[in-house]
Amino acid sequence: MSVLPGPRIGIFNEYAVLCGLAIDRTGMILVGSVGGATHKYISMHKQDGSHVRSIKVNADPFYLAVTPEGSIVIRSGFSEPTIQIVDQSGNLILKVHAPTSVANWVPRGVLCIRDSILISNYVQSGGIYLYSNRGYYLSCVLDGLKFPSHFDLSDNGKKLAVILGKKVTLYRRDAGQ
């Protein structure tokens, strides 16, 4: 891969740290930034890098994903991580809660696919959980994973790549699933 020519996206606040990144279905690039107690923003940029607008959010936008409808899924916090879904203005739509069957909930990675949200639970015996884009728990996609963090789908959703510690493990969807 090579770097594309043209402007680079930058946040011009000396205290801000870029942390979350997502691209919506229109190609808009969303960049989360935090800094101090009050700087919690998501900036939106065109593919050419030009700034469209920024929205202030009430959660640290460490991990981002975008639903097909344009709602923004934010995984925030470190000591007490939460998953929130906000609208394009930063207004809270809802908070996503742990499945009732999960005692230790430490959400980490988030991914939107079609009308669903996938969330990894970063614990010793964690997993990947499927939610509706309205925040309702649907099922456990994969469990018994040791500290699953980031993940993504490939091959039209037939394969799941998951970071487990210092390695990436690929899982294949079995026939009938």
pLDDT, one tens digit per residue, over 33-67 is 888 777 899 999 988 888 899 999 998 999 999 99
* Residue 2 resides in a domain: no
- Cα torsion 131, 76, 80, 147 to 10°: value is 60
Query: pLDDT grade, residue 177 (50/70/90)?
Result: low
* Residue 49 resides in a domain: yes
* Residue 78 resides in a domain: yes
* Residue 131 resides in a domain: yes
CATH number at residue 39: 2.120.10.30
Domain count, the chain: 1
* Residue 30 resides in a domain: yes
**How big is the chain, counted in residues?**
177
Question: What is the tens place of the pLDDT at every residue in 18-31?
Answer: 888 999 989 899 99
Mean pLDDT calculated for residue range 55-80: 90
**Average pLDDT taken over every residue of the chain:** 86
Mean pLDDT calculated for residue range 155-164: 84
Can you tell me the distance from the alpha carbon of 78 to that of 83, in angstroms, rounded to the nearest whole number?
12
* Residue 5 resides in a domain: no
What pTM, to 2 d.p., does this model score?
0.84
Can you tell me the distance from the alpha carbon of 42 to that of 74, in angstroms, rounded to the nearest whole number?
10
Return the residue matching tokens 């015996």. 125
Q: Is it the case that residue 160 has pLDDT exceeding 70?
A: yes
* Residue 10 resides in a domain: no
Host domain of residue 81: 17-172
* Residue 4 resides in a domain: no
